Structure 1
Amino acid sequence: MRETLARNEASDFMKGIRETVKNDVKENANVIDQKEISYSWVKQQLEKPTPKKIIFIKDQVFAINDHLSYLPDVTCRHSFIIRHPAQAYTSFKEMIRYRLDPDGMDWEECHVGNDTPFSPVKDFYKIQHKLWQHLLETSEVEPVIIDVEDLLTKPEVILPKYFEKLGIPFKESYLQWEGSDDFIRQKWKGSGDFVLLESKTNVFLGL
């Protein structure tokens, strides 16, 4: 795995991409130095007072697994997006193929269990259930669960119901997504060059 990623990083393709975003990384206020990010730091940021009425945060469940004590001690609503395993793992494999090889590793050669030791592939659903159970026991309000296929096929039906469940006024504009590079640069905060790099590669192809 490490050798494959090293070859990927050494490729002319990735060198060109990183050279392209190098100056943007230095100048972009949304890029956070990864050395500053820890569980306690993130918890502190989430607990800071803010003039904003609503903040949406998207994360992977396995990122907080075994560190549930760092969930923020502020009022929040948790939502789970679920997907059938056959679709979820197929999509994940498609992503990994392009993460390991910018030209796309051969489908048969890619084994998500062996090629992603950094990710608890076999326990994705078990970890989600663990957090869901924890929230049932510790939160006053039950988490919201959305099936991704319902969201993808009927967003005009699911999103209004979701916002109603959260007690947030819904706007028709929420059904539109401006996913341009400029929009991502302005709005998406993250660590390292991830913010700018992902929008220029095929890493999420197929998701």
Structure 2
Amino acid sequence: MDGADVWHQPYLNSFINHVNSSPELLQRYPKMKKTSREAEEASVRDGGTLQPLSVFSFINHVNSSPELLQRYPKMKKTSREAEEASVRDGGTLQPLSVFRYDWVQEQLEAPLKKEKKFLFVKDWPGAIDGHFNKLPKVPFKHTFIIRNPLRTAISFRKVCLKLFIHEGNIDEFNIIEGNPYTPIELPNPNHLHAFWQYVRNTIDPNPVVIDTDDLQNFPEQILRKYCEAVGIPFKTTYLKWDSGKETLKGVNGPLRLVSDQADVFVNAASSSCFLPVTSQPPSFESLTSDAQKYCSSLLPGYQEMYLSRIKPES
């Protein structure tokens, strides 16, 4: 979008740092093994002097020099940091370790860069729930993206299993009790609904709500109404975009966006337009027992928010 400065999940990454630097919290999930290199680095670095590779010199010089690497066509980079350094060159991605709640709030409250007109922040409400005091104290128009809980339950289970290796029978994995991204001390089972209620009660009585099925099936209608709601001129060019990780170069987010951990974003990164929904949601009975419980916790809030969504005309 023209003139947009984009932040990708800064609060989620702050939450990940909180989880990864809390041995007591991780010990509750003995069958979950961290796979993110940034997570391991953050854990070891806590109180020590280890640094991400990106702060050092010679290897980064080699990895960020296409002319030099082209001399060795049969040599393929295997280091994730090499890929990150290459994509990050000239971009705004950051090591995961810099993301902390106070730092994020400070960054989002800072004046826009001269060439920017809008600031977009995409995030996960579970990382914001319980940290509402860390929201930026500047005017924002909040938008809530909702999704059928039957689809959400399956998707979230897959994401958790990609971010962490479950040591044991995958069928026994429990998305509610078995992973640190839904710890029991989070205040609300439906974080998105809780955040929506908070915004309505304290910031804006009419935040924007968009259902993902509507957005995919009626992209132009929904985007036109969305742009009108947030005060941004709509352009038909917003219905298409360039695909590939290179498009993430100007995003304010963690380097893990372009790493081998980014397979959770692979469909989004490889897309170039909105595609209509072609499948029906799974049946409740087909879900695993933990996914059924998770789905049930989301359903009442989803139904309430669905009534206030931007509606397509057909």
| TM-score class normalised by the smaller sequence | 0.7 to 0.9
2:104 to 22, 36, 42: 42
The alignment partner of 2:220 has SS state of helix
1:188–1:195 CA contact under 8 A, matched in 2? no
Confirm whether residue 5 of structure 1 aligns to residue 33 of structure 2. yes
**What residue number does 2:219 align with?**
155
Structure 2: where are the runs of 5+ without partners? 1-28, 38-76, 269-314
Confirm whether residue 75 of structure 1 aligns to residue 139 of structure 2. yes
Tell me how far apart the structure 2 counterparts of residues 177 and 124 of structure 1 sit (CA, whole Å). 36
1:82–1:146 CA contact under 8 A, matched in 2? yes
Q: Provide TM-score, normalisation by structure 1.
A: 0.77
Tell me how far apart the structure 1 counterparts of residues 104 and 36 of structure 2 sit (CA, whole Å). 30
Q: How many residues align?
A: 197
1:173 Cα deviation after fit: 0.8
Q: Which has the larger radius of gyration?
A: 2
2:93–2:250 CA contact under 8 A, matched in 1? no
1:6 Cα deviation after fit: 4.7
Confirm whether residue 99 of structure 1 aligns to residue 163 of structure 2. yes
**What residue number does 2:250 align with?**
187
1:113 Cα deviation after fit: 2.6
1:98–1:203 CA contact under 8 A, matched in 2? yes
Report runs of 4+ in structure 1 exceeding 4 Å deviation: 1-4, 6-9, 25-29, 120-125
1:88 to 136, 152, 158: 152
**What residue number does 2:179 align with?**
116
**What residue number does 1:203 align with?**
264
Q: Provide TM-score, normalisation by structure 2.
A: 0.53
The alignment partner of 2:154 has SS state of helix
Higher-RCO chain (CA-CA 8 Å, sequence separation at least 6):
1
Q: Which amino acid aligns with 1:38?
A: R
Confirm whether residue 132 of structure 1 aligns to residue 196 of structure 2. yes
Tell me how far apart the structure 2 counterparts of residues 136 and 7 of structure 1 sit (CA, whole Å). 38
Q: Which has the higher helix share?
A: 1
Q: CA RMSD in A?
A: 3.3
The alignment partner of 1:21 has SS state of helix
Tell me how far apart the structure 2 counterparts of residues 87 and 26 of structure 1 sit (CA, whole Å). 33
Q: Which amino acid aligns with 1:113?
A: I
